[in-house]
Structure 1
Amino acid sequence: MRKVTAVMVLTGLLSWGAMANEVTYREHIKPLWQSQCMACHGANAPYLGEFDENENKYVKLNLGPRMDSYADLLMFVAWPDTGALMRRLDDRQYTQDGKPGNMYVYLGETEQQRQQNLALFKAWVGDQAWTLKRKNDITKEELTAIKAGY
């Protein structure tokens, strides 16, 4: 009985330690997003549908689609704009043409800052889920691998 209890306590402590290291939207991504992305993707930006209908207008205004909440940001990770966050932020490691995504440069002032912030986004999305695939190409396994903890 004591062995079972000790194993349960140890398992609980290990799980808690893993959760303490988990990258979450609230603790890690939101502050990063606020410092690096909010100017163009904040409350003044249009929602995805409106942006898609009037993209040229909003690009001229230096506005991208709105991503100022957890739910809004998830639309660019999982659905309906599957993989858009990854395609835009990728550092060229996964791109076929060897070019970084068009938003990668905004992840920081230096390459070191960009790499650190990209690593945070990758940890949040999940290493197994970091894909540049669109919704018609992504597998169920890849979709369910998305972590994106709140």
Structure 2
Amino acid sequence: MLRTGFAIFAVFGISIASFADEVTYRKDIRPLWEQKCSACHGASAPYLGDFKEDQKKFEAMLKGPRMDTYADLIFYIGWPDTGAIMRRLDDGKNAGGKPGNMYQFLGAAEEERQKNLNLFKEWVGKDAWKLNRWKAKGDVPAITKEDVDKIKVKY
């Protein structure tokens, strides 16, 4: 029976180590989000529509758009605010050297920020880490269906 289980992993190219190390929202992202993001993007924060209506007021209160659930958070990855998490958390290597405005909050030092950024990238999908929006804006083209299909965001 045990040999059959190992054979299944071998046939499908799945290693036990990679299966155990899979980045998920519950195990990895939620705790990181609670530590680094919840003060400004928690349950007391406004939903995106309300935030946009009175952005200056909410920013003065140190509140950004609400992201306190899995469903709220992936809203800023896939659709309708496609790529917002990637643009905000990016270290600048994908945007001509300019880090996103939330990158600094990923850690106290560059090493911690890079570690936490890589965790987000693994969760979204390294090949899916795109700064594109749903619709083209300026010189940045819209995200493609192929890029959207690469998004992982495992719960």
Does TM-score exceed 0.5, indicating one fold?
yes
Matched, 1:116 2:115: yes
CA drift at 1:5: 8.4
**Structure 1 unpaired stretches of 5+:** none
Instruction: Name which of structure 1's ranges 10-19 and 122-131 shifts more when overlaid on structure 2.
Output: 10-19
Cα shift readout 1:36-55 (whole Å, capped 9, x = no counterpart): 00000001100111111111
- Inter-partner Cα distance in structure 2 for 1:14 and 1:48: 39
AA at the equivalent of 1:117: N
Match runs of 1:1-150 below 5 Å: 7-8=7-8, 10-11=10-11, 14=14, 16-96=16-96, 98-136=97-135, 137-150=142-155
Pick 1 or 2: higher relative contact order, CA cutoff 8 A, min separation 6: 1
The percent identity for this pair of structures is: 53
Q: Which runs of 4+ in 1 moved over 2 A?
A: 4-19
CA drift at 1:10: 3.0
Alignment size in residue pairs: 147
- Inter-partner Cα distance in structure 2 for 1:109 and 1:66: 23
AA at the equivalent of 1:138: I
- Inter-partner Cα distance in structure 2 for 1:5 and 1:43: 43
Cα shift readout 1:16-35 (whole Å, capped 9, x = no counterpart): 54332110000000000000
**SS of residue in 1 equivalent to 2:46:** coil
CA drift at 1:68: 0.4
CA RMSD of aligned residues (A): 2.0
CA drift at 1:15: 5.5
- Inter-partner Cα distance in structure 2 for 1:109 and 1:16: 33
**Structure 2 unpaired stretches of 5+:** 136-141
**SS of residue in 2 equivalent to 1:10:** helix
Cα 1:9/1:149, change in 2 over 3 Å: closer
CA drift at 1:92: 0.5
